[in-house]
Structure 1
Amino acid sequence: MSNVTRYLCAAAYLDGGFRDRTLGELLFDPFRAVPPSYGGFDLMPVIHHCRRSRTMLVVRDCLITAFFVIGLLIAPLSTVTWLFALVPFALLTVDGVRRGPLFLRVLIWLWAAYALFALLFLVILTEVVTVVSGLFSERSPYEDFYGLDAPSTAGGGSLAQALLVPVVTLGIAVVYRIAIYLTLAGTLRPGTPEPISRVTNPKTGRRLDYIRRAQWGNVTMYANEDAFMGAGSIERSWSIAVELDRVRDGQTSRRQDDPIDIDPVELHAFVRARLVDMRDRVLRPNEGIQRLDIGDHVVTRGIFTVTDWHRDRAPVAHPFIDKDGLPRFQATPEEIAAIARHPQGGVRYYQRVTINNAGQEIRDLHGNLVAPAEDQEALTSAFIYLAVEGRMLYTQFVVTVLPPAFGPYRVVDRLPTMTGGRIAWEAVKVLRLRLLRDVLAAPVRVVRTAVQAIRQNVTAPDPRKHIVYPYGSRFSVRELGASEDLQTHIQVLDVAKYVRMIEQRLTEAVLDFLEERRVETGAYRLQAASVTMNTVSVGAGGTVSGPIAFGQHASATVNNPKPA
């Protein structure tokens, strides 16, 4: 497994919200589309560990709930007191309380101290009452004969009953956390192979098989406005439009009645060949961009009318829904060509260029290793849109950046070097008060899990019962587990480097293609210089009024003073 895949597998155990959202998005609705996976990320191991983590969690919560029930039967007073003692500690883990006023936290800590004191007092009182009652009870002749100490025996039993539920429930929570960290240190260590998933439920097996194939498709169906789902957030975008009815004759340009015929499919192929040269046609192997991947990116909003097409007078599903009623994830070359030639259609085609900053190893002239390959984990993607429309050629360039995985998930790289005792300490140290919250919330989670299971079995999604059905993906699992931003300045510089290289290659390729067909490219060159060099051209006699800003994340404001 790649590093980012391992890190998001760890998120399945370390982040309950990540696990629940992943399973809810990918497994609950068998008709929901799957966003693409880029840069070596694989969804299948993440789903495997999310399902395994959920199973371990359900077992833990059921055991804790069972001991609560036993405690209410044999020692109800101490069990209720233990639950009462857990409430303030659970409140102290709530973000609103932790970030709230100090006075509120002090009150809750006083409540927690009082609850612990009440629990301790109850245990001592139970022990004292049992011993005293044993002293004044009538001793049996059998006890005298066998030398039994009735007060001490009864007192030990009552103490064990009083402490049974607190000790066992808290112990189950601690053992669960240690088991989680041992799993992270064992099955998710660097170099771990992909796990083998064994599925007994045929419905789940069919869904997993669909996800396995769909994540490598070229069709993205989105439920929101993110047409580049799975590639990160948009970092840069620009567009250029040039007339196709202006040609160059020698040193002069003129307009003609009929525009020059430009096929966007041929232009895409021309640009693709120029981009592939950056990887394959270099003087030396170390000069090629080894992790450059070029593919097709077909996007459509995944909300379709279930029976809005007719074939032989019979209503049928949308063409992007296959015969099994599932969203299609692979468009054919013929379909891609048709989409590229119809810019006003509901489906759009982009040529995707992805660079995985995995790096390459460094060797000297003698072949000796100087430095191994280092995975920067950041992913840079460029999406190129070319459209011929209204006697114009429109070029759109969109850059997205996907940061590395969230920092705490990287604990799987440190745990394998630790001893078993150190791993256990790390497991308990990270949670602290949340261990007590997990004990208190166990019965609630058991009930919630049972209700969700019943609801999923009773209310299974069925597009045939709807006129309009939302097939589109709501979010990307890879993006869900990503950091908020790039983590090193080298990653920032690498993104800027690859963006500049790709957009320069794209611009020169389009210019060469247009000049071969005698299209006047002066306007294109002027616009390209403006967008690539972050400049603005002002014509003769033109003026700029008001604030103006250039560059990435630039902003400009104006402060109008109030009249005196």
Structure 2
Amino acid sequence: MIDSTETDGSKSGEQHVPFFYTPTPPQPPPTFSKITRMLCSAAYLNNDFARTVIDEVVGDEQRAVANSVDFDLDPVVRHSFQARKMLFIRDCVLTGLLLVGLITFPFVTLAWILVAAGLLHRSKYRGAPKYTRGPRGTAYFVAAVIVFCCLGIYSPLLLLLASLAPENNNPTGQAGDDPLSGALPVIDAFLTFALALPLALAVGTLAALAVHRMMAFRTILQAFGADVPGSAPQLPNERIAQRLHWVRGTQNGNVTVHARNPLLGAGASVGNASWTMALSLRTDPTLLPPTDSTPQPRVSVHDSVDPYEIHVAIRKRVWALTDSALPEHQRVPGVRVADHIVADGERREGDPLLEPARRPHSVASPEAIAAIIRHPQGGLRYYQRITIGVEGKPVVTGDGRLVLPAQNQEVVISAFVHVAVEGGRLYAEFLGMMLPPILEEYHVADRLRKSAALRFGEAVSSAVKLWPDTVKAPLHAARSLWQIATLSNRMDRAREDSQQNLVHDYGARISVRELASEETPQKFLQSLDAEKYLKLVEKAVSEALIDYLEEHHVDTSEYRTRMTYIQNNSTTISESTFVNSAVAVGSHSSASN
């Protein structure tokens, strides 16, 4: 982390440390954070989530992991293994029921498959305009009606039993002239079976889904309650345990080795909260100190402006948002400032960022950070990451009485600041990002009551919603079986690839937190909070830059002009009419674009 008391990134007398290293894993926390609990719940409720977490975190031992913000990745992976086992058993049961239906009443089952496909197609486009849905969903339902009406009563098992009846093999040829005349009692007796079996299979399918949900809810409530001590299941083998031991040490490092997205895990850009600018470094004569009659050599602004010192000044100004001198209700909640170094995932053998075991280091030393900031051409990019988790604060009266408890908006707001001095110019970059809240369906531990009756009702309701998805059970079961059978081979293949190739991609590809998040903010206040706090941070960054430049006698008129333009052209009120427009308030105010 940048040290605000030193300008060279190292402290006098400090023991020498490597420029890049992998830290010792910390002790697991006694209880899970709220985000950890919801991500663990997601593993039990979503087939694809558990498999993807295992594939990305464990399936490639050489790959880096994205930074974990407010959660611990270790228990999420452990519970993903247990959840995958439960889901695999459920999918096998559902596959068996589907096979019984296809053998006994294939066309009734086929009609159900077509109906389910239509329902799944419609759910995919839920909320979208009707003209975007296409005719495919309707075609599924029409085909289901045709199949059921024309061939729904047909059962090869029924005809087989009828053909084996003794009356059909009568050698006299009297009663057996009609192949089915002697089988009428068998057919009459079997009609009940013909009507009851599809219903029984449907009930069995719902029961399998409901039982699995009940077991998942019980596990979630027992293991992920708000006041329950954190615990995690055992892992399948020691090799996976060693991988997770390494992950625990790297998940909160200051180096992000990425495959495609250098800001992986931060969400998406917020409106017009991002900007860049390049400024000429020119001396402002009005800022120069008065001199006596003896001429003194002056230091060039190109030599005096240090991007490392600029970041130190920005850090101090951002921390002022939480200054203890401010009244408690005026302090910005949850402000954190951290170093964020991004590196491309494709690294060559012997790269300083790689361990001897060919895994990416996750921490850069203060000395390395200072050098990276001052040498922006080196292939590593430094950002100062300012994170605001909108935990909220309680509303109290002047005498301390509680009006409203703290409300958590469940979003993570991040500002990434990059500063470089090159070619006699200052380059500044500000990126505003927001990570949306966790999907509502994963809030089970906080939403569900512990009453068995209520859990049963919730399980049945979930089973009804998931019923169409049962037609994909064979595919889910096959994918889980393939992942279980090939995990060790895929880990071996990834290690061999890194050893056999001079250049290998070690970059993280997904963020587990983003994988379980909504695509966009779900509440308007979440968007407004993001805009508000990013504006506060942007103001602090701008003031720090101006003050620093003026202290070093740099002409800031160009910077002020550009910041005025940015602020006047970045007003976004998405539910009103002010979009990318200047806004003026007051009787003597004016605004222009």
TM-score range, shorter chain: 0.7 to 0.9
The Cα offsets for residues 371-424 of structure 1, whole Å up to 9 and x where unpaired, read as: 21111111111111111111122221111111111233334433226x434433
Aligned to 1:109: 144
Answer yes or no: is 1:7 the counterpart of 2:58.
Answer: no
Q: 1:426 aligns with which of 449, 458, 470?
A: 458
Any idea what SS the aligned residue of 2:321 has? coil
Judged with a 3 Å threshold, the aligned counterparts in structure 2 of structure 1 residues 507 and 270 are, in CA distance, closer, same or farther, namely same
Could you tell me which amino acid in structure 2 is paired with residue 205 of structure 1?
A: A
Answer yes or no: is 1:455 the counterpart of 2:490.
Answer: no
Answer yes or no: is 1:409 the counterpart of 2:445.
Answer: no
Answer yes or no: is 1:59 the counterpart of 2:89.
Answer: yes
The Cα offsets for residues 459-494 of structure 1, whole Å up to 9 and x where unpaired, read as: 421200223211111121211222222222222222
Any idea what SS the aligned residue of 2:68 has? coil
**Structure 1: distance between partners of 2:552 and 2:159:** 97
**Structure 1: distance between partners of 2:346 and 2:541:** 33
TM-score (norm 2): 0.74
Conserved 8 A contact 1:85-1:116:
no
More moved, 323-332 vs 272-281: 272-281
**Structure 1: distance between partners of 2:264 and 2:283:** 38
**Structure 2: distance between partners of 1:280 and 1:112:** 71
The Cα offsets for residues 277-301 of structure 1, whole Å up to 9 and x where unpaired, read as: 2113433233222300000000011
In percent, how many aligned pairs have the same letter? 32
Any idea what SS the aligned residue of 2:427 has? strand
Answer yes or no: is 1:248 the counterpart of 2:292.
Answer: no
Any idea what SS the aligned residue of 2:363 has? coil
Aligned to 2:56: 25
Could you tell me which amino acid in structure 1 is paired with residue 388 of structure 2?
A: I
**Structure 1: distance between partners of 2:465 and 2:326:** 60
Alignment RMSD, CA only?
3.8
More moved, 329-338 vs 402-411: 402-411
Judged with a 3 Å threshold, the aligned counterparts in structure 2 of structure 1 residues 377 and 227 are, in CA distance, closer, same or farther, namely same
More moved, 386-395 vs 175-184: 175-184
Conserved 8 A contact 1:78-1:123:
yes
Aligned to 1:312: none
Tell me by how many angstroms 1:159 deviates: 5.7
Aligned to 1:238: 275
Structure 1 portions without partners, runs of 5+: 137-150, 308-316, 537-548, 553-564
Judged with a 3 Å threshold, the aligned counterparts in structure 2 of structure 1 residues 54 and 260 are, in CA distance, closer, same or farther, namely same
Tell me by how many angstroms 1:84 deviates: 4.5
Tell me by how many angstroms 1:233 deviates: 0.9
Judged with a 3 Å threshold, the aligned counterparts in structure 2 of structure 1 residues 172 and 492 are, in CA distance, closer, same or farther, namely closer
Could you tell me which amino acid in structure 2 is paired with residue 522 of structure 1?
A: S
Could you tell me which amino acid in structure 2 is paired with residue 294 of structure 1?
A: V
Aligned to 2:591: none
Judged with a 3 Å threshold, the aligned counterparts in structure 2 of structure 1 residues 427 and 188 are, in CA distance, closer, same or farther, namely same
Aligned to 2:503: 468
**Structure 1: distance between partners of 2:222 and 2:37:** 12
Judged with a 3 Å threshold, the aligned counterparts in structure 2 of structure 1 residues 490 and 168 are, in CA distance, closer, same or farther, namely closer
Aligned to 2:384: 351
**Structure 1: distance between partners of 2:455 and 2:147:** 29
Structure 2 portions without partners, runs of 5+: 1-31, 125-132, 171-184, 291-297, 572-578, 583-593
Conserved 8 A contact 1:363-1:371:
yes
The Cα offsets for residues 305-347 of structure 1, whole Å up to 9 and x where unpaired, read as: 2x2xxxxxxxxx2111112211111111111011000011210
Q: 1:95 aligns with which of 98, 112, 121?
A: 121
The Cα offsets for residues 107-152 of structure 1, whole Å up to 9 and x where unpaired, read as: 2331564499437x7898899999998xx9xxxxxxxxxxxxxx99
Conserved 8 A contact 2:301-2:553:
no
Aligned to 1:375: 408
**Structure 2: distance between partners of 1:301 and 1:348:** 10
The Cα offsets for residues 143-175 of structure 1, whole Å up to 9 and x where unpaired, read as: xxxxxxxx99xx79x969x95993656643442
Q: 2:539 aligns with which of 504, 507, 518?
A: 504
Aligned to 1:187: 223
**Structure 2: distance between partners of 1:441 and 1:59:** 14
More moved, 463-472 vs 362-371: 362-371
Conserved 8 A contact 2:111-2:143:
no
Judged with a 3 Å threshold, the aligned counterparts in structure 2 of structure 1 residues 512 and 25 are, in CA distance, closer, same or farther, namely same
1:333-352 matches, cutoff 5 A: 333-352=366-385
**Structure 2: distance between partners of 1:289 and 1:228:** 23
The Cα offsets for residues 226-274 of structure 1, whole Å up to 9 and x where unpaired, read as: 2211111122211233333423245999x99773422211221122112
Any idea what SS the aligned residue of 2:509 has? coil
Any idea what SS the aligned residue of 1:216 has? coil
1:72-91 matches, cutoff 5 A: 78=104, 84=110, 86-91=112-117
Conserved 8 A contact 1:217-1:330:
yes
1:226-375 matches, cutoff 5 A: 226-235=261-270, 236-249=273-286, 259-305=302-348, 307=349, 317-375=350-408
Judged with a 3 Å threshold, the aligned counterparts in structure 2 of structure 1 residues 304 and 401 are, in CA distance, closer, same or farther, namely same
**Structure 2: distance between partners of 1:519 and 1:494:** 34
Could you tell me which amino acid in structure 1 is paired with residue 458 of structure 2?
A: E
